[in-house]
Amino acid sequence: MVTDGHNHTKHFSVDAEQTIDELITSAKELGFTRIGITEHFEIDFPEDGLDWQFDLNEYNETFKTWKKKAGNDLELLKGIEFGYQTHVASEIDRTASLIPFDVVLLSVHLFRGKDFYADRDCYKIPAKDLHKEYIGMMAEMCENCSNFDVAAHYDYINRYTDNLSDFVTYWECPKEFDRFFEALISKNKALEINTKSIQKHKERGFSRTLPDPDILNRYRKMGGNMICLGSDSHIKGSLAVCFNEAVEYLKSLGFTETVYFKDRKPYFETL
Ligand SMILES: [Zn+2]
Ligand SMILES: [Zn+2]
């Protein structure tokens, strides 16, 4: 089983419900020998009554006890997921060096400074324009930040739309995707396929649920070969959701490997 590199626990991610014990148990039941834990850390997030940061030193210390709990048959990778905004780019790069991480994820969780989980005004914009601006932000994030390993869930903008025909495609915004991939590939960073997005597309009745093949084909054609898989699990029982079909899909497109990060270095796994 290839590594699930993107998961959260309630101990450090304010929106997660699963405990580390539940996550370790799920991982062992599913036969994983390695998973990544990537807790949320938002810098200058809009006020919503929640604390989207945690004490990095406490995390570093706690992780040692988690590794012991997991034992020798399950390796835990210590990660973090930063939320990108233009004005926090240098602060992300600085913060990512404060403790030793295995893997650093970058995400865009806001659109024009608003959390679209809570405020869905952005969905009044035509889908094509919305996607173009969002992928433009993904590109900017990868251009402006350096101290990261993975660009997470490029399709997150679609998670809360009410319009079931909306789907992020390459041909809506080829220039933005090319900028995004150029930055990733030139910096040796990885592109994440977020399998929770696939599950959300299914749950919500989308006609298409897997990533647009033109996106992945273009990434590969430009020289991209670093794909990470992450289920972005927050609750018990959601580890590795839709993993098998994502793996089969990648294989069908000609990908032969995925990648995970340890000590900030990439390791490839055969699909
Ligand atoms: Zn995220
Ligand atoms: Zn996440």
C-alpha of residue 40 to centroid of ligand 2, in Å: 7
- Using CA atoms, how far residue 43 sits from 14, 100, 105, 110, 122, in Å, is 14, 19, 14, 12, 22
C-alpha of residue 235 to centroid of ligand 2, in Å: 12
C-alpha of residue 7 to centroid of ligand 1, in Å: 10
Tokens representing 130? 């919305």
Residues with Cβ within 8 Å of residue 169, at least 6 apart in sequence: 131, 212, 214, 215
What is the pTM for the complete model shown? Answer: 0.98
C-alpha of residue 40 to centroid of ligand 1, in Å: 8
C-alpha of residue 50 to centroid of ligand 2, in Å: 16
Distance CA 100, CA 87 (A): 24
Buried-exposed string 117-132: b where 16+ CB fall within 10 A, e elsewhere: eebeebbeeebeebbb
Tokens representing 87? 């004005």
Residues with Cβ within 8 Å of residue 143, at least 6 apart in sequence: 179, 183
Counting every residue written for the chain, the total comes to 271
* pLDDT tens sequence for the chain (271 residues): 899 999 999 999 999 999 999 999 999 999 999 999 999 999 999 999 999 999 999 999 999 999 999 999 999 999 999 999 999 999 999 999 999 999 999 999 999 999 998 889 999 999 999 999 999 999 999 999 999 999 999 999 988 888 887 889 999 999 999 999 999 999 999 999 999 999 999 998 888 999 999 999 999 999 999 999 999 999 999 999 999 999 999 999 999 999 999 999 999 999 9
C-alpha of residue 194 to centroid of ligand 1, in Å: 9
- 187: helix, strand or coil: coil
Q: Which ligand is nearest to the CA of 107?
A: 1
C-alpha of residue 15 to centroid of ligand 2, in Å: 10
Q: Which ligand is nearest to the CA of 7?
A: 2
C-alpha of residue 81 to centroid of ligand 1, in Å: 7
Q: Which ligand is nearest to the CA of 230?
A: 2
C-alpha of residue 148 to centroid of ligand 2, in Å: 15
C-alpha of residue 6 to centroid of ligand 2, in Å: 6
Tell whether domain 20-270 is in CATH 3.40.50.300.
no
Q: How many CB atoms lie within 10 A of CB 4?
A: 27
C-alpha of residue 249 to centroid of ligand 1, in Å: 22
C-alpha of residue 41 to centroid of ligand 2, in Å: 10
Angle at 32 between CA 27 and CA 38, to 5 degrees: 65
Q: Which ligand is nearest to the CA of 79?
A: 2
